[in-house]
Amino acid sequence: MDISRRKFLQIGAVASGSVVCAGVKPASARDLREPNPEWLGMLNDTTRCIGCKACQVACKKENKLPMESTLNESANVGRDVYDAPRGLSERTYTLIKMQQDEENGKTTFVKTQCMHCSEPACASACIVGALKKQENGAVAYDSGLCMGCRYCMVACPFNVPQFEWQNAIPSIKKCTLCRETKLKEGKPTACSSVCPAGAISFGKRSDLIKLARKRIEKDPELYQDHIYGEKEVGGTGVLYLARPKMQFASLGLPAFKYRTVAGLTESIQHRIFQYFIPPIAVYSVLGGIMYRNQSRKKNGGEEGGSHE
């Protein structure tokens, strides 16, 4: 055959080279978008939480979520009981967890729920755009659009989206920021409005950051000088304050970097499909090779032109 081994390698190198250049550029290529100051969110002050779980109950009531019986309480008590599941689930959008600091051994109550990220990884991952960041700052889920692929669960660094494993037709479930119920009426979220300790503040994200700063400045003994979620994973709508020396990681809030989670995948996707240049380039290169080979075959005559 007429393509030498060297040619074959050359062509291969060009083809794969173009794919490489197109696909694998540093992740830093994508700029961080500034969080919108108008977005609504919540500030969870872990120094104030008393672990009463009123927020958990309010959330269940607001969202009409069924009760969970992890310890068979319903069988023992004769009715369902609001209990304490170990983690978020399709029936529990928010949960108070007691966390222990690895270094000083102190325990703290920490509220978990959807963080309503500024650049949600779930929304970036969703194949049909069923998860979207809303104007008001909530990351909303549209069960009618959803295909149930669960890629959002893979993408979320906080493991928030939950799947209805027991339903024949399952949906994704997570905190809605009371978007359809409370926010619509201009009211704060259910969990924040019932907190007896003032541990959950609701408001505009920009105001919450100001509030958090003020608390830190006013009482530097009580707080450490870090607002979790201000910058982590590109910023989140739910922010946290903690006592000094308390590692956020030990509060179940991992030490995530400041860049967005989906930065790498998005820049790779973007580059592979930028104006469709890479696929078209590969197509043309392959087309050229094929054309050359076929015309040589023709010129070489019917008998044996195609054999090495």
**Least distance from another protein to the Cβ atom of residue 130, Å:** 8
Q: What is the dihedral of CA 78, 82, 84, 88, to 10 degrees?
A: 120
Give, as ranges, the residues between 58 and 87 that touch another protein (CB under 8 A): 86-87
Interface residue with another protein among 145, 220, 244, 258 (CB under 8 A) is 145
Give the chain's length.
Answer: 308
Measured from the Cβ of residue 72, the count of other Cβ atoms closer than 10 Å reads 9
Measure the CA–CA gap between 121 and 222, rounded to whole angstroms: 33
Minimum CB distance to another protein smaller for 18 or for 74: 18
Look at residues 149, 179, 165, 56 and name the one whose alpha carbon lies nearest to residue 109.
56
- 52, 149, 197, 222: residue in contact with another protein (rule CB under 8 A): 149
**Contact between 4 and another protein (CB under 8 A)?**
no
Stretches 182-190, 192-200, 212-220, 268-276: which one binds another protein (CB under 8 A)?
Answer: 268-276
Q: Which stretch binds another protein (CB under 8 A): 55-63, 198-206, 243-251, 275-283?
A: 275-283
User: Which residue from 79, 166, 299, 303 is in contact with another protein, where contact means CB under 8 A?
Assistant: 166
261 near another protein, rule: CB under 8 A: yes
What does the alpha-carbon distance between residue 137 and residue 118 come to, in Å, rounded to a whole number?
Answer: 8
Beta strands in the chain (DSSP E): 40-45, 95-100, 107-112, 131-133, 139-141, 162-163, 172-173, 200-204, 238-241
Report the residue from 6, 64, 79, 307 that binds another protein according to the rule CB under 8 A: 307
Is residue 224 packed enough to be buried (19+ CB in 10 Å), middle (13-18) or exposed (0-12)?
middle
Q: Using CA atoms, how far apart are residues 172 and 126, in angstroms rounded to an integer?
A: 12
- One residue of 27, 84, 140, 197 binding another protein per CB under 8 A: 27
Q: In the complex with another protein, which residue's Cβ is closer, 54 or 172?
A: 172
Q: Which of 50, 98, 128, 249 binds another protein (CB under 8 A)?
A: 128
* Interaction between residue 253 and another protein (CB under 8 A): no
